[in-house]
Copies of this chain bind each other. A is one copy, B any other.
């Protein structure tokens, strides 16, 4: 297809596609004349993933290039690809895992849940920080309080992964995974607030 069709089908403006080509995020098309090139379905899939990584996940062009290079190496391994695009695994695998306070509580939670997780998952620090903050504010809240929340998160993650089942293409799965993971975040928090209001009405007869 021509660049105009790539624009139409991806929703990414022509000038932006040319920028991605110059930056090497998107490989060049097959030249058909001095000024024209043909692009494939593979270009379209890669372009959609770039849009998700830059526009939705908010990665820099350089970080996106690193992720895309790593994805290309592991394209056949869906788990690797999902880990890379969602940032569960940093691209630089030699990085030391964090040793913040509260990390042993997170380890206890992960062990209790039986979760197979990389040492590096940035989500670990978020849990540690939250537990520290609640403790510093005097709230009676430990990693054990998080267990039922973690069980519900596991059911939510199963729904997320179900959404990716309709395609075998790992780039397409990666794009969908970024969209669903990042874009659903505010919606999931909103659903919790709505459900809190309902639950409060039921319990307190509001």
Task: Contacts A82-B204, A116-B197, A150-B195 known; list 8 others, CB within 8 Å.
Answer: A77-B204, A110-B194, A123-B189, A123-B191, A127-B187, A130-B187, A156-B192, A161-B200
Indicate if A29 sits at the interface (CB-CB under 8 A): no
Q: A193: which of B77, B79, B181, B202 is its contact (CB, 8 Å)?
A: B181
Indicate if A188 sits at the interface (CB-CB under 8 A): yes
Q: How large is the interface on A (under 10, 10 to 19, 20 to 34, 35 or more residues)?
A: 35 or more
Residue of B nearest to A140 (CB): B166
- Please state if B79 and A205 are interface contacts (CB–CB under 8 Å): yes
> A176: shortest Cβ distance to chain B, in Å?
7
In Å, the complex CA distance between A11 and B134 comes to 13
Indicate if A152 sits at the interface (CB-CB under 8 A): yes
Chain B residues, Cβ within 8 Å of A115: 194-195, 197-198
Q: A196: which of B80, B137, B157 is its contact (CB, 8 Å)?
A: B157
Chain B residues, Cβ within 8 Å of A183: 130, 133-134, 137
Chain B residues, Cβ within 8 Å of A15: none
Residue of B nearest to A176 (CB): B139
In Å, the complex CA distance between A140 and B163 comes to 9
> A189: shortest Cβ distance to chain B, in Å?
5
| Segment 24-51 of A: residues with Cβ below 8 Å from B | none
Indicate if A154 sits at the interface (CB-CB under 8 A): yes
- Please state if A191 and B83 are interface contacts (CB–CB under 8 Å): no
- Please state if B118 and A83 are interface contacts (CB–CB under 8 Å): no
Chain B residues, Cβ within 8 Å of A139: 176, 179-180
In Å, the complex CA distance between A191 and B128 comes to 11
Write 14 A-B pairs (CB below 8 A) sorted by A numbering.
A11-B138, A83-B206, A86-B197, A115-B195, A115-B197, A116-B201, A124-B194, A127-B190, A130-B190, A139-B176, A141-B180, A149-B191, A154-B195, A161-B196
